[in-house]
Amino acid sequence: MLFISLLCSFILYYCIYRVIFSNDLQNESFLETDKCPACFGSSACGMLLDNHIKLTGWSKVRFLDVVNVKNVHFGKHIYSEEDVVLKKLALNNELVKVDNALCKDANRPEGCDIARVIYKTNTAHALKDKPILPKHLNSLEIGMFTCGSYRLLDKLWSKYQEKQPNNVILYRDKVQLMYISMVNTESLLMQTFPASDGWPFPKYYGACGRFVVLENAGKPLTEYYNAPFSTRVDLAYQLMKMAILMSENKEDFILYWTDIQYENFAVDVAGKVKIIDAENIIVVDKMAIEAKQPLGWSEPYESKFDDCEGRNCLTFSTDNLCRHMSSDHNYYALCRNLLSKYGTEPGMSGGLLHDMPKYAEDDWDLLNLLNECAYPSKPNGRFIVKETLLSAFDNLRNVDKVKDVKFGETQNDVKINSKHNSVKKIINSIADETK
Q: What is the mean pLDDT of the chain?
A: 88
How many whole angstroms separate alpha carbon 52 and alpha carbon 44? 10
pLDDT in tens, 364-412: 999 999 999 999 999 999 999 999 999 999 999 988 444 444 444 434 3
Confidence grade of residue 178 (pLDDT, cut at 50, 70, 90)? very high
Per-domain residue ranges for the chain?
24-216, 219-433
Q: What Rg, from alpha-carbon coordinates, does the chain have? A: 24
C-alpha 45/C-alpha 33 separation (Å) is 9
CA 205-28-196 angle, to 5 degrees, is: 5
> Using CA atoms, how far apart are residues 423 and 169, in angstroms rounded to an integer?
55
- CB 119 within 8 Å of CB 102: no
Looking at the DSSP bridge assignments, the partners of residue 327 are 301
CB atoms closer than 10 angstroms to residue 195:
16
Nearest-angstrom CA–CA distance, 236 and 234:
5
172 CB neighbour count, 10 Å cutoff: 14
- Helices 381-397 and 366-374 pack at an angle, to 10 degrees, of 140
What span, in angstroms and rounded, lies between the C-alpha atoms of 182 and 192? 17
The whole-angstrom separation of Cα 39 and Cα 58 is: 25
Q: What pTM was computed for the model?
A: 0.87
> Phi first, then psi: what are they for 200, rounded to 5°?
-85, 50
Position 348: which residue type? M
| 323-333: burial string, b at 16+ Cβ within 10 Å, e else | bbbbbbbbbbb
Distance of CA 430 to the CA centre of its chain: 33
Averaged pLDDT, 243-253: 98
pLDDT at position 103 is 98
Strands (E), 21-167: 53-55, 72-77, 83-87
pLDDT of residue 6: 54
Residue range 251-261: average pLDDT? 97
Give residue-wise pLDDT tens across range 279-289: 999 999 999 99
pLDDT class of 300 with cuts at 50, 70, 90: very high
Q: Is 50 left (phi over 0), alpha (psi -120 to 50) or beta?
A: alpha
What was the pLDDT predicted at 2? 58
Tell me the per-residue pLDDT of 75-104, one tens digit each, with 9 for 90 and over.
Answer: 999 988 899 999 999 999 999 999 999 999
Among the residues of 269-317, which ranges form H helices? 286-292
Confidence of residue 415 (pLDDT cuts 50, 70, 90): very low
Residue type, 218: G
Q: Are 188 and 140 in contact (CB under 8 A)?
A: no
What are the helix (H) ranges across 185-257? 186-192, 229-247
Q: Do strands 265-267 and 273-275 pair parallel, antiparallel, or not at all (unpaired)?
A: antiparallel
Top-tier CATH class for 219-433: mainly alpha
- Choice between 265 and 430, residue whose per-residue pLDDT is larger: 265
> What's the half-sphere exposure (Cβ side, CA atoms, 13 Å) at 387?
6
Helix (H, G, I), strand (E, B) or coil at 255: strand
Q: Is residue 117 pLDDT above 50, yes or no?
A: yes
d(CA 220, CA 266): 4
- pLDDT at site 66: 67
265-267 and 72-77 as β-strands: parallel, antiparallel, unpaired?
unpaired
| 59, amino acid identity | S
Candidates 250, 321, 255, 325; CA nearest to 290 is: 325
**What 3-state DSSP class applies to 281?**
coil
Please state, in angstroms and rounded to a whole number, the distance separating the CA atoms of residues 435 and 423. Answer: 20
User: 74: which strand partners?
Assistant: 85
CA 333 from centre of chain: 14
Residue of 241, 234, 187 lying closest to 211 (CA atoms)? 187
Length of the chain: 435
Question: Between residues 3 and 239, which one has the greater pLDDT?
Answer: 239
**DSSP track, 74-89:** EEEETTT--EEEEE-S
* pLDDT of 419 over the 50 cut: no
Q: Residue 229, Cβ neighbours under 10 Å: how many?
A: 25
Q: What confidence tens digit (pLDDT) does each residue in 181-216 have?
A: 999 999 999 999 999 999 999 999 999 999 999 999
